[in-house]
């Protein structure tokens, strides 16, 4: 049997360990609270970061074997969030330009010269299905596709061997607004430049706000 004094000592050490753990936890919580109070943060800050797509658009237009489309005349409520051009991939020469549309819905322009347009459409629309409905934008008939995740407007251009898809979670009204704004001319380049300037201005404003907050702290 263990000596009563040893047992008492063990119990005392156990109590001390518990007290040490409680004190350590208290110190951690206090440190976290201090950091929360004094580090600048904005719970209402917009998580969407607009991107510039002027350089990518210029490069794509020089390289693509088809007329690359981009919007012109959209309001500032349309915020470009992603842009890529892949010259040689599984989808052929593929152009992508994504936006956060008004109402915080997603909409994107997808183009490709893939030899199997149906496969390209299926991929970028997440398997949306073709319907008998059409809409006319820019003198061209766009076919509506409806899906569980994305809806889409699709324009197939056999002459230029390119398929253009305007797709996303946005409504058909918004998708139509984007489709109707698309152009392959200089106007789109000017719109891209404006978007780049706007993105740069917002980043500068954000940096200035951070500096002001740091100065106040």
Q: What are 17's two structure tokens?
A: 């360990």
pTM over 0.95: no
Edge-to-edge strand list for the sheet holding 79-89: 79-89, 92-101, 105-112, 162-168, 151-157, 140-146, 129-137
Query: What values do phi and psi take at 7, rounded to 5?
Result: -60, -45
Q: Which residue has the tokens 């917009």?
A: 46
Q: Is the pLDDT confidence value at 44 over 60?
A: no
| pLDDT tens string 69-84 | 999 999 999 999 999 9
Q: Is the pLDDT confidence value at 66 over 60?
A: yes
Q: Is the pLDDT confidence value at 140 over 70?
A: yes
User: CA-CA distance, 210 to 41, in Å (whole number)?
Assistant: 9
Q: Is the pLDDT confidence value at 91 over 70?
A: yes
pLDDT at 42: 43
Query: Helix-strand-coil percent breakdown of the chain, rounded to 5?
Result: 45, 30, 30
Q: Is the pLDDT confidence value at 132 over 60?
A: yes
pLDDT at 26: 64
């Amino acid at each position: 049997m263990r000596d009563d004094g040893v047992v008492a000592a063990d119990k005392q050490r156990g109590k001390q360990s518990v007290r040490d753990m409680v004190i350590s936890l208290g110190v951690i919580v206090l440190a976290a609270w201090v950091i929360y109070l004094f580090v600048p943060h904005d719970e209402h800050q917009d998580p969407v970061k607009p991107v510039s797509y002027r350089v990518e658009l210029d490069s794509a237009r020089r390289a693509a074997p088809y007329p690359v489309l981009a919007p012109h005349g959209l309001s500032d409520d349309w915020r470009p969030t992603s842009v890529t051009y892949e010259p040689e991939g599984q989808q052929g020469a593929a152009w992508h330009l994504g936006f956060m549309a008004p109402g915080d819905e997603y909409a994107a322009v997808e183009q490709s010269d893939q030899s199997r347009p149906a496969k390209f459409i299926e991929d970028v629309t997440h398997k949306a299905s073709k319907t008998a409905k059409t809409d006319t934008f820019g003198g061209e008939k766009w076919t509506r596709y409806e899906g569980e995740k994305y809806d889409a407007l699709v324009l197939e251009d056999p002459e230029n061997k390119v398929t253009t898809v305007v797709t996303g979670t946005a409504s058909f009204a918004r998708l139509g607004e984007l489709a109707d704004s698309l152009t392959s001319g200089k106007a789109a380049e000017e719109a891209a430049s404006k978007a780049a300037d706007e993105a740069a201005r917002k980043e500068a404003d954000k940096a200035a706000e951070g500096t002001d907050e740091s100065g106040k702290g």
